[in-house]
């Protein structure tokens, strides 16, 4: 059984969040005594959203996490914060707009657009769906891959958390080509690039509405993380296809032990209610059926 921690941070100031991250890692017994030289951090930068919307990982949260990692692994470790271009989002703009470039300068870490780095083209098949991914060399050299997702709903694949966040590690920019079998593609990239640690930025979440939830959620198992997140969001994790597929492919466990204040977050997450789900279904069908204009 995998451990998933839920830590509540009431004040979103530097010391409280730093303490919260450390506590969250301690609750999952994360081992800091290993030898780590190169750390890759993958936040969720899906579009040009402001971090206060809860749609993208806050660069400030990443900066605090960097301090926690440096405190525990030593100052000498090389830290890379990475994202890749997507069909509609270009890193050269997003890094600037969201404040990642300023954060990287301030923390003296390397900010990398994976689309512009060297990568290997790797074929993989998941559930009879064949994919070609561009896996950046950086991941082959990394000692620790830290996945820093948001915790939010997504109409295509129900939730966007740890597993979906790794989709952005594929250096190939035109990601819409994977959308026909997105669940399989998510599992595929997770098979090629393994997450060592997930630290979810749930300080602000985007659920039914945006809410300052004060959640820091951690696990070493991305499948367990997503299973727990789905439950928190009021969904049956078995109904989230990429989670069950990831479990079947041996990427992690679907049974987990919640550590910390799970019940508080279960009560306070801004969940979609039945009306929202119905409305979402109607509008998504409508948007697909009727032409624009």
**Chain positions contacting another protein, by CB under 8 A:** 47-50, 53, 55, 86-90, 93, 96-99, 102, 176, 279, 282-283, 286-288, 290, 292-293
Least gap, CB of 89 to another protein (angstroms) = 7
The first and second tokens of residue 208, run together, are: 């039914």
Minimum distance, C-beta of residue 25 to another protein, in the bound complex (Å): 31
Task: Give min distance, CB of 173 to another protein, in A.
Answer: 10
| Nearest residue to 107 (alpha-carbon basis) of 68, 159, 138 | 68
DSSP state, residue 45: -
Q: Specify the residue, 49 or 262, whose C-beta has the smaller distance to another protein.
A: 49
Of 99 and 234, nearer to another protein (C-beta) is 99
191: helix, strand or coil: helix
Instruction: For another protein, give the closer residue by CB, 10 or 174.
Output: 174
Q: How far is the CB of 275 from another protein (least distance, A)?
A: 13
Q: Kindly write down the DSSP assignment for every residue of 66-124, as one continuous string.
A: HHHHHHHH-TT-EEEEEE---SS--HHHHHHHHTHHHHHHHHT-EEEEGGGS-EEEEEE
CA distance 23 to 19: 6
Task: Please say which residue, 54 or 136, places its beta carbon nearer to another protein.
Answer: 54
Identity of the residue, 1 or 88, whose beta carbon is nearer to another protein in the bound complex: 88
Q: Round to whole Å and give the CA distance between 233 and 243.
A: 14
Cα distance from N-terminal residue to C-terminal residue, the chain:
51
Q: In the bound complex, what is the minimum distance in angstroms from residue 158's beta carbon to another protein?
A: 16
Q: In the complex, what is the shortest distance from the CB of residue 107 to another protein, in angstroms, rounded to a whole number?
A: 17
Q: Of 93 and 140, which has the nearer Cβ to another protein?
A: 93
Q: How far is the CB of 47 from another protein (least distance, A)?
A: 5
- Site of tokens 């466990």: 253
Judged by beta carbon, residue 155 or residue 263, the one nearer another protein is: 155
* Distance in angstroms (rounded) separating the CA atoms of residues 67 and 132: 36
Nearest to 127 by CA among 251, 254, 240, 248: 248
């Amino acid at each position: 059984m995998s451990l998933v921690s839920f830590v509540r941070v009431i004040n979103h100031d530097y010391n409280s969040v730093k303490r919260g991250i450390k506590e969250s890692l301690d609750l999952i017994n994360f081992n800091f005594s290993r030898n780590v030289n190169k750390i890759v951090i993958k936040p969720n930068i899906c579009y040009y959203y402001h971090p206060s919307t809860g749609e993208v990982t806050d660069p400030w949260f990443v900066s605090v996490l960097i301090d926690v990692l440096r405190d525990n692994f030593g100052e000498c470790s090389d830290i890379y914060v990475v994202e890749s271009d997507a069909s509609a989002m270009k890193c050269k703009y997003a890094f600037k707009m969201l404040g990642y470039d300023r954060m990287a300068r301030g923390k003296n870490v390397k900010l990398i657009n994976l689309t512009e780095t060297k990568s290997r083209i790797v074929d993989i098949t998941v559930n009879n769906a064949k994919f070609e991914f561009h896996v950046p060399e950086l991941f082959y050299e990394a000692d620790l891959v830290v996945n820093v997702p948001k915790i939010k709903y997504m109409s295509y694949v129900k939730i966007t958390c740890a597993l979906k966040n790794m989709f952005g590690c594929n250096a190939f920019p035109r990601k819409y080509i994977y959308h026909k079998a997105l669940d399989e593609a998510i599992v595929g990239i997770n098979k090629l690039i393994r997450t060592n640690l997930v630290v979810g930025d749930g300080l602000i979440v985007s659920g039914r509405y945006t809410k300052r939830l004060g959640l820091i959620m951690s696990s070493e198992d991305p499948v367990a993380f997503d299973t727990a997140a789905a439950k928190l969001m009021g969904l049956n994790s078995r109904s989230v296809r990429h989670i069950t597929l990831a479990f079947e492919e041996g990427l992690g466990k679907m049974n987990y032990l919640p550590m910390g204040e799970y019940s508080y977050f279960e009560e306070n997450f801004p969940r979609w209610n039945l009306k929202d789900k119905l409305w979402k279904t109607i509008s998504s069908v409508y948007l697909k059926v009727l032409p624009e204009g």
